[in-house]
Amino acid sequence: MIWVRNLYVPDVGSAGGSALLIYIREMMLVARWAEASNDGEAAWPGNGGSPNLVVAPADLQVDPLYPRRITSLSSPFTPAMVGNIISLLATNDQNRSIWRITAYIDANNIEVDPMGFTPFNWVLESGITGRVTTLSSALTAGVATSLLNAPAPSNMQARLFYSALDAQILYVRPKGQVPLATECTGITYANSSDLKHRMHMVSEDENTIIWWSTEDTSFEFVMWGSLLDSDTLDTDPNFILGHATAPAVDLYSFYMYMLDSSDSNINCYVTTIKQNWSAQQQNQFFGYMNSRLANNRQALLRSPWVCMDNIAAVGACIRGRIPLLAQSYTGYEKLRPLDAAGSWLHTFSGLVLPRNGPNDQLPLLPV
Amino acid sequence: MTKHWVRDVPLTDPANYIANGNHMMANAVTYHFLRVAGWRLLWECDGGRGSAATDPNHVPDGNVQVDSTAFWASYNGGTVSKDVVTVHSGTRSLKVVAAGAGEGVVSDPFYSMANAVSWTTGTGDTLSGPVGREMTYYDDTTRFSSGSWAIGSYLAFSGNSDPNNDGEFVISRYINGNSVKFENPIGSPVVYYNWTPPPPVDVASVQFRPRYEVAIWAATNVAFDVEVDQGDGSYVNIGTIPSNGVVFTEYNFFFRRLGSGGSTIRFVSQGAGTMYVGGINVYSSRFEKPALLKSGTDGVITNPDQFSSGSFTFDDSDVGRVLFLWDGTYNKNSGAYVITGVAAGVVTLDLRSGSAALVNSNNVRWRLDTIDYLTYPNYSYTDLLSYCGFGLESPHTSKWRFFLRQSQPNGQTGKGSIIWSAPQDTDFDFSSGNFRKSGPSTQRNRQVDWYMIPDSAIATGEHLIRGGYSYKTSPHDSRCFMMVDEDGAFISVFTWDEDGNHGCYVIGWITSALPGLESFHQATRWEGRGVANESFFDNSADRFSSSGTTFDSEDNAIPFCIAQLGIGLIAYDTIEVETQSNAGPNPWSGKEWLRPLIIWRDTEGNRQSAAIQITDCGLYQGRSNMVELTTFDSDGFLHLDNGLIWEWSGETVL
């Protein structure tokens, strides 16, 4: 797995959402997604003349003898980079992440934020390509877009779109690399005055979860992924799942979109356990206090099934299970580790995400 | 685990009978299939003591729990007391000390016994047959009205001109108020005349002799003879309890009623010693019917639908009976099949399938019974039938126990069968069949204490089944299905009803996901006896899914439900995966999506909640809009109703 933890993203004036999209894109690159295209504007780091890409050295190295230190032999670093963001596109997943630069040692050495550093330290590696980015230029509202290819063999594409000042829409094209450009309904994240973000990611293959807190909202969530246990003839069960105001919303109310068997958008729903037919969702099993230590006095972690919308012939049936995440008791305290092994972290309202071991840094709130 | 099935036993009630025998017939199918599967008979009862009797045992203080010897008397100098040390069940036993041979104890007269009835054949009475091993006695005076309870008892004839017509014969079938069938393969037809003059006069004396079974649990260091006054004022020895090292052992005897006087039981020592009686249960057997039982372990199955036995020769009288088979080698041979024909002792079976064919097999366990609306009437006739019941012990290593008692207080509108179970060999009361609170059972504790009110129209605080038995005066069809696993871990019963009021329950070790007794579940209806489809998943207590019983880590009974999968946002707040109006198979492959049943235990949230998928018992849910009683996926699954799906044998159903 590839992890990003507690990435503190500074603001770009009033266009906080611009920062969000830029760093979702940077994290997806870290997660081995590859950009297929973008609108060409300079605010995307890496585009020609982009002021947001400070430097991109290809000779970075890390050494477990020097935790949090990133070294270069080409003297790319400057004191002004403190507060910027550096991503390492390392071969080793333990080294592959993105952090805020917290210390300048010299032109060849910097240190990254301890609150986001891997609990397992570096694995010795050199020749790493890195990207130091900043936010001196905002995306153009209504224009900026980036299309990214999920890691092979997935056919999925994700599209990031800066629809308006501080409003962004995230899309999935489940068969985008086939290519089939049909795009599912997007999920809108309107962060009106969110100037700062604390961002997190866990990614494995094409399954990528990115979540963040802002000054206004303590939990926003997006996931691109591919369902588990789908029908063998259902070759592209790819989805986008998310919610912009997630802290008080149960997983079953998240937005989820896929392509149906006729390659049209279809709304999908995360299932939950309830007592009887016609019972309300809010009376779900995970809403009861006694479910907190269910199943032999341990937290029940459920990999939820996903049901397609009630459309004859193309939907209205279970399609598969959501990878990576789990459902559990909705009343657990926020951002609470669930197990001694450090495998799981309760975020909000019963949504449980993988945790990178017992010494993984806990998420910081607020920003 | 390998499954065995009862594939669709037809249970039909003809138009002109208001008895609607489907209910008891389904119970009988369940009973016999479990018996042939190796389940041990623990207890039986009849309803002879009346509809309100929670204690159906005919023996006063039969469970020996009364704290006195008020119901027992010394016989010939024996010393009688209650003992609280050497006890088999409950807190007491009946202690009998004999200083020498001939001493013992005698009971009070049994409660509510059926009497022997004697008469002389009249003009118009006939004997006909035999057909196979059965003859038919026709009595012109409707002597047998309400007489199906007499099946398994005896008719004794004397004075016939053909000596082969004289003797004591077991009653095998009830036909109507005038006629019964009895087993006498060598008799001859008679038309009785009884007037003078003219001669010849052909007259026979006939006596109906009710049969009662006697189950005794005793521990003794000396043999005791067991003697019963059969209602004629004299005692007859019905067996002996041997010295058994003072280890409680069950002994089974029987007697006939030969008169209308009181019946008592007495134990007479063969020498000096002490016997502890743990309990005595006297009942008229409605399910096992030992006098009538045909069974064996030597069944021979011949492809595709033939069966024979080395120890028993089937004959023409067996056509229409149901043959119960348990084949430990070829599980799909097991089942309950109506016999459609007999030739040279070999029967042909109705497999109720367009695709089924039995596999050649030997040493198949089998038993035979008549499953029809006359043998197992649902209502009317007598309390003896309406309130009968049984208790069985599973061959599973846990020795879990399954008890059922019919309860039909309000006739057609109040039918039901109360079901209670225990996840292990929990001690039970030999009289009532209730489990003692010292061990785990569904009766141990719940939100309210479990109790059985057989005479209540509205059952309160108890599990029961009811489905499939609505009143009709037109032909009424039901179909009984069962699924059990090879080692007896669980049973599933579904009785399809043409009115849509299906009976449904699941009991046993249906999962291994939880520790200890927590894996045991009883999913049956809870309270209420209104007509309802029990194969349903809403929050009504009428459903098998809504309020079952399981156990917590302290072996206390707690409730559970079979949970559902909710979906969607506010617009779909109360919709489920399987109940969507357009629910269909997977659009890509066309395959149905099934999920194991989900148990939500401790629904009251008092103790230990859990939500688990049960994956060990072949029970699934699928979309509810499938046609009922359809098979799919190469007949590997059977949709019963409302999305309840069983693993199936690979055969089609009719």
Q: Which of A289, A282, A290, A278 is nearest to B564 (CA)?
A: A278
What is the per-residue pLDDT for B6? 98
* Least Cα separation, residue A306 to chain B (angstroms): 8
Enumerate the residues of chain A whose CB falls inside 8 A of the CB of residue B582.
310-313, 315-316
Please state, in angstroms and as integers, the Cα–Cα distance from residue B168 to each residue in B156, B165, B184, B187, B375, following that order: 4, 9, 9, 12, 20
Amino acid present at A28: M
**Residues 73-112, chain A, touching B (beta carbon < 8 A):** none
DSSP letter string, B567-581: -SSGGGTT-BTTT-T
Judge if the upstream peptide bond of residue B304 is cis by omega within 30 degrees of 0: yes
Enumerate the residues of chain B whose CB falls inside 8 A of the CB of residue A316.
580-584
* Least Cα separation, residue A329 to chain B (angstroms): 11
Least CB–CB distance from B605: residue in A290, A295, A312: A290
The answer to whether the CB of B643 falls within 8 A of the CB of B624 is yes
DSSP letter string, B503-531: EEEEEEE--SSSSGGGGEEEE-EES--S-
**Using the 8-state DSSP alphabet, how is residue A24 labeled?**
H
Q: Is A22 helix (H, G, I), strand (E, B) or coil?
A: helix
The full set of domain ranges for chain A reads: 53-134, 145-354
Contact B567 A290 (CB under 8 A): no
Residue with tokens 């098998």: B544
Enumerate the residues of chain A whose CB falls inside 8 A of the CB of residue B535.
none
Q: Which two tokens stand for residue B184?
A: 């006498």
The full set of domain ranges for chain B reads: 72-113+211-283, 117-209
Helix (H) or strand (E) holding A160: strand A157-164
Any idea which of A239-253, A305-319, B70-84, B344-358 has the lowest mean pLDDT?
A239-253
Q: Residues A3-49: pLDDT tens digits?
A: 999 999 877 666 778 888 999 999 999 999 999 999 999 999 999 99
Whole-angstrom Cα distance, residue B608 to residue B559?
10
Nearest CA in chain B to A262: B587
Pick the more confident residue, B101 or B568.
B101
What is the per-residue pLDDT for A9? 86
- List beta partners, residue B174: B180
Contact B612 A260 (CB under 8 A): no
Contact B589 A285 (CB under 8 A): no
Nearest CA in chain B to A314: B587
**Secondary structure of B262-308 in HEC code, one letter for each residue:** CCCEEEEECCCEEEEEEEEEEECCCCCCCCCCEEEEEEEEECCCEEE
Whole-angstrom Cα distance, residue A301 to residue A104?
42
Residue with tokens 């009884």: B194
Mean pLDDT confidence for B523-536: 84
Least CB–CB distance from B584: residue in A302, A305, A316: A316
Least CB–CB distance from A278: residue in B538, B567, B568: B538
Contact A310 B566 (CB under 8 A): no
The answer to whether the CB of B525 falls within 8 A of the CB of B495 is no
The answer to whether the CB of B127 falls within 8 A of the CB of B265 is no
Enumerate the residues of chain A whose CB falls inside 8 A of the CB of residue B564.
273-277, 279
Q: Is B156 helix (H, G, I), strand (E, B) or coil?
A: strand
Q: Which percentage of chain B shows pLDDT scores above 70?
A: 90
Enumerate the residues of chain B whose CB falls inside 8 A of the CB of residue A174.
none
Least CB–CB distance from A276: residue in B537, B581, B589: B537
The radius of gyration of chain A from alpha carbons, rounded to an integer in Å, stands at: 20
Q: Which of A275, A283, A292 to mutate to test the interface with B (most CBs of B within 10 A)?
A: A275
Contact B564 A261 (CB under 8 A): no
The pTM of the full predicted model, rounded to 2 decimals, is 0.93
Residues 6+ apart with CB under 8 A from B239: B225, B226, B251, B253
Averaged confidence pLDDT in chain B? 90
Cβ-Cβ contacts under 8 Å between A and B: the total is 149
Any idea which of A39-43, A223-227, A259-263, B446-450 has the lowest mean pLDDT?
B446-450
* pLDDT of A128 above 80: yes
Pick the more confident residue, B429 or B418.
B429
Contact A290 B573 (CB under 8 A): no
Mean pLDDT confidence for B174-198: 87
Q: Which two tokens stand for residue A62?
A: 């890390």
Enumerate the residues of chain B whose CB falls inside 8 A of the CB of residue A290.
602, 605-609
Q: Which two tokens stand for residue B218?
A: 């005793």
Nearest CA in chain B to A278: B574
Contact B545 A276 (CB under 8 A): yes
Whole-angstrom Cα distance, residue B278 to residue B94?
7
* Least Cα separation, residue B428 to chain A (angstroms): 29
Please state, in angstroms and as integers, the Cα–Cα distance from residue A212 to each residue in A344, B176, B541, following that order: 17, 80, 45
Nearest CA in chain A to B604: A290
CATH, domain B117-209, list 3.10.129.10, 3.60.20.10, 1.20.1290.10, 2.40.30.20:
2.40.30.20
Contact B563 A315 (CB under 8 A): no
Helix (H) or strand (E) holding A97: strand A97-106
Pairing of strands A125-133, A53-55: antiparallel
State the pLDDT confidence band at B24, using cuts at 50, 70 and 90: confident
CB of A141 within 8 Å of a chain B CB? The answer is: no
Q: Which of B537, B553, B565, B607 to mutate to test the interface with A (most CBs of A within 10 A)?
A: B565
Q: Which percentage of chain B shows pLDDT scores above 90?
A: 72
Q: Tell me, what's the ipTM?
A: 0.93
Q: Residues B606-651: pLDDT tens digits?
A: 667 888 888 889 999 999 999 999 999 999 999 999 999 999 999 9
Contact A289 B605 (CB under 8 A): yes
Least CB–CB distance from A276: residue in B561, B586, B602: B561
Q: Which of B540, B552, B567, B644 to mutate to test the interface with A (most CBs of A within 10 A)?
A: B567
* pLDDT of B18 above 70: no
Nearest CA in chain B to A294: B610
Mean pLDDT confidence for B189-211: 81
Least CB–CB distance from A311: residue in B539, B577, B582: B582
**Using the 8-state DSSP alphabet, how is residue A286 labeled?**
G
Distance of CA A20 to the CA centre of its chain: 11
**Residues 207-236, chain A, touching B (beta carbon < 8 A):** 231-234
Residue with tokens 């036909």: B175
Q: Which percentage of chain A shows pLDDT scores above 90?
A: 82
Whole-angstrom Cα distance, residue A29 to residue A26?
5
* Least Cα separation, residue A111 to chain B (angstroms): 45
Q: Which of A230, A264, A302, A307 to mutate to test the interface with B (most CBs of B within 10 A)?
A: A307
What is the per-residue pLDDT for B569? 64
The radius of gyration of chain B from alpha carbons, rounded to an integer in Å, stands at: 26
* Least Cα separation, residue A75 to chain B (angstroms): 54
Q: In the β-sheet with A157-164, what is the strand arrangement from edge to edge?
A: A34-38, A145-149, A157-164, A167-173, A187-190
Please state, in angstroms and as integers, the Cα–Cα distance from residue A7 to each residue in A194, A198, A216, A333, B423, following that order: 15, 5, 17, 22, 54
What is the per-residue pLDDT for B610? 83
What is the per-residue pLDDT for A159? 98
What is the per-residue pLDDT for B472? 55
Residues 6+ apart with CB under 8 A from B234: none
- List beta partners, residue B254: B213
**Residues 282-341, chain A, touching B (beta carbon < 8 A):** 282, 284-285, 288-291, 294-297, 300, 302, 305, 307, 310-319
Contact B564 A273 (CB under 8 A): yes
What is the per-residue pLDDT for B176? 86
Q: Which of A86, A53, A52 is nearest to A68 (CA)?
A: A86
Distance of CA B5 to the CA centre of its chain: 17
Judge if the upstream peptide bond of residue A51 is cis by omega within 30 degrees of 0: no
State the pLDDT confidence band at B195, using cuts at 50, 70 and 90: low
Q: Which two tokens stand for residue A322?
A: 């959501």
| End-to-end Cα distance, chain B | 26
Residues 6+ apart with CB under 8 A from B198: none
What is the per-residue pLDDT for B209? 96
Contact A278 B574 (CB under 8 A): yes
Q: Which of B433, B420, B451, B456 is nearest to B529 (CA)?
A: B456
Nearest CA in chain B to A267: B568
Contact A300 B603 (CB under 8 A): no
Distance of CA B69 to the CA centre of its chain: 33
CATH, domain B72-113+211-283, list 3.40.109.10, 2.60.40.10, 2.60.120.260, 3.40.50.720:
2.60.120.260
* pLDDT of B415 above 80: no
Whole-angstrom Cα distance, residue B349 to residue B406?
29
* pLDDT of B409 above 90: no
Contact A272 B565 (CB under 8 A): yes
Class for domain A53-134, per CATH?
Answer: mainly beta
* pLDDT of A279 above 90: no
Least CB–CB distance from A313: residue in B546, B584, B595: B584
Whole-angstrom Cα distance, residue A56 to residue A70?
13
Least CB–CB distance from A317: residue in B515, B586, B600: B586
**Residues 246-265, chain A, touching B (beta carbon < 8 A):** 252-253, 260-261
Contact A317 B605 (CB under 8 A): no
Half-sphere exposure of A307 (CA within 13 A, CB side): 34
Q: Tell me the backbone φ, ψ of residue A296, rounded to 5 degrees.
A: 55, 40
Q: Is B320 helix (H, G, I), strand (E, B) or coil?
A: coil
Enumerate the residues of chain A whose CB falls inside 8 A of the CB of residue B581.
310, 316
Mean pLDDT confidence for B147-155: 89
What is the per-residue pLDDT for B468? 47
> How many C-beta atoms surround the C-beta of residue A76 within 10 A?
19
Enumerate the residues of chain A whose CB falls inside 8 A of the CB of residue B538.
276-278
State the pLDDT confidence band at B407, using cuts at 50, 70 and 90: confident
